[in-house]
Amino acid sequence: MKPAPFDYLRANTTQDALDALAQHGEDARVLAGGQSLMAVLNMRLAQPQLLVDISRTGELDTIRVERDGFLAVGAAVTQGSVEWRATLRDEVPLLALAFPHISHFQIRNRGTVCGSVAHADPSAELPLVLTALGGDVTLRSHRRVRTVAASDFFQGMLMTAREPDELVESVRFPLKKPGERFGFAECSARHGDFAMVACAAVVTDDAIRIAVGGVADRPVAERWPRLAGDDLRGALNDLSWKLGAQDDAHISATYRRHLVRQLGWRVIEEAK
Partner 1 sequence: MNDGLCRRDGRQRIALTLNGRERSGFCEPRDLLSDFLRHELGATGTHVGCEHGVCGACTVQIDGVAARSCLMLAVQADGRRVDTVEGLADGDALSDLQQAFQRHHALQCGFCTAGILMSCADWLRRVPDPSEDEVREMLSGHLCRCTGYTPIVAAVLDVAARRRHAVAATERADA
In the complex, the residues that contact partner 1 under the rule CB under 8 A are 1-10, 12, 16, 31, 34-35, 38-39, 41-43, 51, 53, 55-56, 80, 84, 100, 103-107, 109-110, 190-192
Shortest Cβ distance from residue 55 to partner 1 (Å)? 6
- Closest distance to partner 1 from the beta carbon of 31 (Å): 8
Output the smallest distance, CB 12 to partner 1, in A. 6
Decide: residue 40, CB within 10 A, 0-12 exposed, 13-18 middle, 19+ buried: middle
Residue among 6 and 255 whose Cβ is closer to partner 1? 6
In this structure, what DSSP letter does residue 177 have? P
Q: Which residues pair with 78 in a beta bridge?
A: 112
Minimum distance, C-beta of residue 116 to partner 1, in the bound complex (Å)? 14
Which residue lies nearer to partner 1 by CB, 99 or 173? Answer: 99
User: Who contacts 104 (Cβ-Cβ below 8 Å, separation ≥6)?
Assistant: 192
Nearer to partner 1, 103 or 123 (CB): 103
14 SS3 class = helix
Residue 21 or 236: the one with the smaller Cβ distance to partner 1 is: 21
Q: CB of residue 214 vs partner 1: minimum separation in angstroms?
A: 19
**Could you give the residue ranges of the DSSP H alpha helices within the chain?**
14-24, 37-42, 79-83, 88-91, 93-98, 105-108, 113-119, 125-133, 150-153, 229-242, 253-271
